[in-house]
Every structure is written in structure tokens, then in C-alpha cells.
């Protein structure tokens, strides 16, 4: 009985979570005339793919998508490189000022992002990176949250393994690459997914930095469709659906690694 109630509640919450996604998917196939006439699902014969063709006619959607994939892909890989190295150093090396550095890093996480917009803009402007993809990638190259994530994960790697690798003749980078990284795979998966979603959905900074439409990422491109006096809701829904899709697909492909990463260390052996 208790089990049934638990499952019932879980199913209910699952439905609540899924309804907006299903509504989005259905809306992407609704004609504009039906958009408000049918609150949810119109009769199947009224569904249309016109919104998708309208979307690709109205804007260079494929280019926006490629821009997003490029910026997100490069940013995540660079972040992964620096975050894992930084996390390794913080977890496994003792050096002067380590606590101070960690304190400063923690402090930077407490500063709200918008506060940094003006100085960042000035910096990027002087670096001549305004209206470029590098202007999006460079400020996001180092991820403090990622460093802490990797530090926490790599602390659980036994020092004896590192010592054994040193005795076998590994240099410090080889130890990192061949010993520490393979045992950190779950956290790498989780970090990649979190970092990818953060970059993929990033809006404020790209909106400030990017000016030419051929460099727009998806959120910025989609946002252009919102006019003050007109809005093509159908095309917007189609665009949003396509924008959400890569993240959903990625999550399904990586869900095992993601969950393993987040629950790593949850059970003590």
C-alpha cells in the first residue's frame, strides 16, 4: 500500500515535470491560428510542420545552432582541461598559499555574475574580442565550481596509487592522465553535462558581447524573434524545441555517467 502511494506521488510529480515539455513539443506543431484556440492538443489533422519551415526561413537557425555547438564544445573542453588540472593540484599537492588561493576562489563564487559584467566588458573590449566567439570562450575558460568538483573527487584517489605510479617512472602529468583521470570518469561526465548546459543556455553575456547575427548563439538568435508588437509563437516554440533537444539527447546518452558522478562518494565502503 505504502509502495503504491509512493509510486503514485512520484508519477504525479513526473507528470507535473513533463507537462511543460510535452506542451512545448505540441505547440511546435500547432498552426498559429490554433495556438490559442487549443490550450493543449489540437486534433491530429491540424498539426503542422509549418513552424519549422518558418523558423528556418526567418532566421539562419542552422548557423545559430552551429555557433552554439562550437562555443559550448570548445568552452566545455577548455574548462574540463583547466578544472581537472586545477582540481588535481588542489587535491594532491601541498604548496604555500594553498588555503588562501582556495579562499579567494571560493570568494569569487560568491560574487554575483552581473556585478562583473562592466569590468569584463571593458577587458574584452580592450582585448578586441567584442562580437567574436572568443569573447564568449575566453572569460569562461576557468570554472571555479569545476575545480572544486574535481578537487573533492580527486581527494578520494589514494595517495598510494600516485606513489606507485611515481615509482613506476611516471611524471606528474602522466600520473594525472593515466592514474587520476580514469578513476575520475564519473565526475568528468557530470561536469561536462553541467558545463555544457550552462554554456548552451548562456544568455546575458552573449547578448552583451555579440552584435552580428551570424555569430549569435541559439538563445540570442531565438530572442530576436520576440518583437514588441509581433511574435510568431509557433516558430518560437519550434526553435525552443530544437534548442532543448541536444541537451535532452546528451542527457539520455550520458545519464549513467552523470548520475554516477553526482552520487560518487555518497556511499562509503
Give the footprint of other proteins on this chain (CB under 8 A): 31-37, 39, 58, 63, 65-70, 72-74, 76-77, 80, 125, 130, 177-178, 181-182, 185, 188-189, 192-193, 196, 207-208, 211-214, 220, 223-233, 246, 250, 253-254, 257-258
Report the residue number, 144 or 225, with the smaller CB distance to other proteins: 225
Residue 45 or 110: the one with the smaller Cβ distance to other proteins is 45
The C-alpha R_g of the chain, in whole angstroms, comes to 23
> From residue 28, how far is each of 25, 54, 234, 249, 251 by CA, in Å?
5, 11, 6, 18, 21
To other proteins, the closest distance from the beta carbon of 188 in angstroms equals: 6
Shortest distance, position 56 Cβ to other proteins, whole Å: 14
CB of 77 to other proteins, least distance (A): 5
- The CA distance from 269 to 264, in Å, is 11
User: Strand pairing partners for 231?
Assistant: 226
Min dist. Cβ of residue 67 to other proteins (A): 7
Nearer to other proteins, 97 or 114 (CB): 114
Q: Which residue, 101 or 260, is less far from other proteins as judged by CB? A: 260
Treating both helix axes as pointing N-terminal to C-terminal, what angle do 233-263 and 61-92 enclose, rounded to 10 degrees?
20
Helix H segments across 93-184?
Answer: 98-110, 117-126, 134-137, 144-154, 159-167, 172-174, 181-183
Amino acid at each position: 500500500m505504502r509502495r503504491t502511494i509512493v509510486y503514485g506521488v512520484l508519477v504525479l510529480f513526473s507528470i507535473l515535470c513533463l507537462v511543460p515539455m510535452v506542451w512545448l513539443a505540441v505547440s511546435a506543431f500547432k498552426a498559429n491560428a490554433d495556438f490559442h484556440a487549443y490550450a493543449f492538443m489540437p486534433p491530429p489533422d491540424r498539426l503542422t510542420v509549418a513552424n519549422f519551415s518558418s523558423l528556418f526561413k526567418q532566421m539562419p537557425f542552422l548557423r545559430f545552432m552551429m555557433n552554439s555547438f562550437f562555443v559550448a564544445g570548445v568552452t566545455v573542453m577548455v574548462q574540463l582541461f583547466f578544472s581537472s588540472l586545477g582540481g588535481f593540484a588542489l587535491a594532491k599537492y601541498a604548496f604555500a598559499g594553498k588555503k588562501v588561493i582556495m579562499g579567494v576562489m571560493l570568494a569569487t563564487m560568491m560574487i554575483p555574475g552581473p556585478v562583473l559584467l562592466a569590468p569584463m566588458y571593458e577587458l574584452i573590449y580592450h582585448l578586441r574580442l567584442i562580437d567574436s566567439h572568443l569573447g564568449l570562450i575566453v572569460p569562461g575558460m576557468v570554472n571555479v565550481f569545476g575545480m572544486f568538483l574535481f578537487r573533492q573527487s580527486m581527494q578520494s584517489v589514494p595517495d598510494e596509487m600516485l606513489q606507485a605510479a611515481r615509482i613506476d617512472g611516471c611524471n606528474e602529468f602522466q600520473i594525472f592522465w593515466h592514474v587520476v583521470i580514469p578513476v575520475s570518469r564519473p565526475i568528468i561526465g557530470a561536469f561536462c553535462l553541467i558545463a555544457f548546459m550552462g554554456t548552451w543556455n548562456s544568455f546575458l553575456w552573449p547578448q552583451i558581447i555579440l552584435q552580428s547575427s551570424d555569430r549569435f548563439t541559439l538563445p540570442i538568435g531565438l530572442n530576436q524573434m520576440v518583437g514588441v508588437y509581433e511574435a510568431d509563437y509557433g516558430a518560437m516554440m519550434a526553435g525552443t524545441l530544437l534548442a532543448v533537444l541536444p541537451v535532452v539527447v546528451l542527457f539520455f546518452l550520458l545519464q549513467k555517467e552523470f548520475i554516477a558522478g553526482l552520487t560518487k562518494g555518497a556511499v562509503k565502503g
